[in-house]
Amino acid sequence: MSKKGKSFLESKQKVESGKRYPLKEAIELVVTTSKAKFDETVDGAIRLGVNPAHADQMVRGSVVLPHGLGKSVRVLVFAKGEKEKEALEAGADIVGADDIIEKIKTGWLDFDRVVATPDMMGSVGKLGKILGPRGLMPNPKVGTVTFDVAKAVQELKAGKVEFRVEKAGIVHSPLGKVSFGPEKLQENTLALIETIVKLKPASSKGTYLRSISISTTMGPGVKIDPLDVRNI
């Protein structure tokens, strides 16, 4: 059994067990429980009233957080010709085609997000077993397979996050850094939840937002009252 550190236990004492806090209060509490010596990431876990085993209840999408994620994102773009130039001008870190594909096959993975033009997907698809498990495979549903590579790169650099409901019906997503402060973290959180609500499947019955919890990298989870979020 793992033993929790002193700082974690002190932070956990500030959180009332079982209580669902109003959004504003929950975020302020999470910020005050941050005890690490580095700028911790704030993560969200949202349990939905869906069954991902059914294709018509799969919730997947993306959102550009108003205040980004507080970290630099290395963007790789698979493109040729004019689109290669467009991607570089938009700020892509690496742009290429078959040469990059071969490099990845040898184990190179020095990037965080991937964009591809549709005409490149026949070749990029060969990397499915490498990029897929790492959540890096380009997908048209989240805007990373597109001929508008400039827009895709700019959004990723600005803090666009992709999310997908897991088998247990939970969506996990980063919300920003502790240093953002409560106000910016609240705006990022609301942007994510609003997008998830818009993606509610028609076949989902009953309560859609079952539970919401946020936490810092090293801190305890704080539950948010879904009703308070809906009212906001």
**Structure confidence at residue 1 as a pLDDT band (50, 70, 90):** very low
Widest pairwise Cα distance in the chain: 58
**Residue at 6 is within a domain:** no
CA distance 118 to 144: 9
Same-domain check for residues 89 and 147: yes
Q: Are residues 117 and 86 in the same domain?
A: yes
- Of the candidates 205, 199, 200, 190, the residue with the CA atom closest to the CA atom of residue 27: 190
pLDDT tens digits along 141-188: 889 999 999 999 999 999 899 899 999 999 999 999 999 999 999 999
Q: 221 is written with which tokens?
A: 């989870």
Domain assignment present for 5 = no
- The phi, psi pair for 119, rounded to 5°, reads -70, -15
Burial class (CB in 10 A: 0-12, 13-18, 19+), 8: middle
- Kindly report the CATH number assigned to the domain that includes residue 91: 3.40.50.790
pLDDT of residue 124: 96
Domain CATH number, residue 27: 3.30.190.20
What's the pLDDT at 79? 97
Q: Of the residues 128, 157, 186, which one is the last residue of a structural domain?
A: 157
For residue 195, what pLDDT is reported?
Answer: 95
Domain boundary among 157, 184, 210: 157
Least confident range from 13-27, 63-77, 146-160: namely 13-27
Burial grade of 111 (CB within 10 A; 0-12, 13-18, 19 or more): middle
Confidence band for 17, pLDDT divided at 50, 70 and 90: confident
Indicate the residue among 93, 124, 157 that finishes a domain.
Answer: 157
**Residues 145 and 80 both lie in one domain:** yes
Looking at the 3D structure of the chain, how many domains does it have? 2
Averaged pLDDT of the chain: 91
In a domain, 222, yes or no: yes
* Position 10 in a domain: no
Is 3 inside any structural domain? no
- What would the pLDDT profile of 21-34 be if each residue is shown by its tens digit? 999 999 999 999 88
* Whether 151 and 134 share a structural domain: yes
pLDDT tens column, 133-150:
998 999 998 899 999 999
CA 209 to chain centre: 18
One domain, residues 193 and 90: no
- pLDDT at residue number 213: 96
DSSP secondary structure string for all residues of 38-69? S-PEEEEEEEES--TTSGGG--EEEEE-TT--
* Domain-embedded: residue 2: no
In the structure, how many helices (H) and strands (E) does the chain have? 9, 9
Residues 50 and 94 in one domain: no
C-alpha separations of 120 from 84, 96, 146, 162, 221 in Å: 12, 10, 10, 21, 42
Sign of CA dihedral 27, 33, 38, 44: negative
pLDDT in tens, 79-122: 999 999 999 999 999 999 999 999 999 999 999 999 999 999 99
Residues 82, 144, single domain; the answer is yes
**Assigned domain for 7 exists:** no
Per-residue confidence at 202, pLDDT binned at 50, 70, 90? very high
Which residue range is the domain that position 206 belongs to?
Answer: 16-68+160-231
pTM for the whole structure: 0.81
Q: Are residues 142 and 85 in the same domain?
A: yes
* In the predicted structure, residue 3 carries a pLDDT above the cut 70: no
Find, among 139, 142, 85, the residue nearest to 116 by Cα. Answer: 139
**Integer Cα distance of 217 and 127 in angstroms:** 31
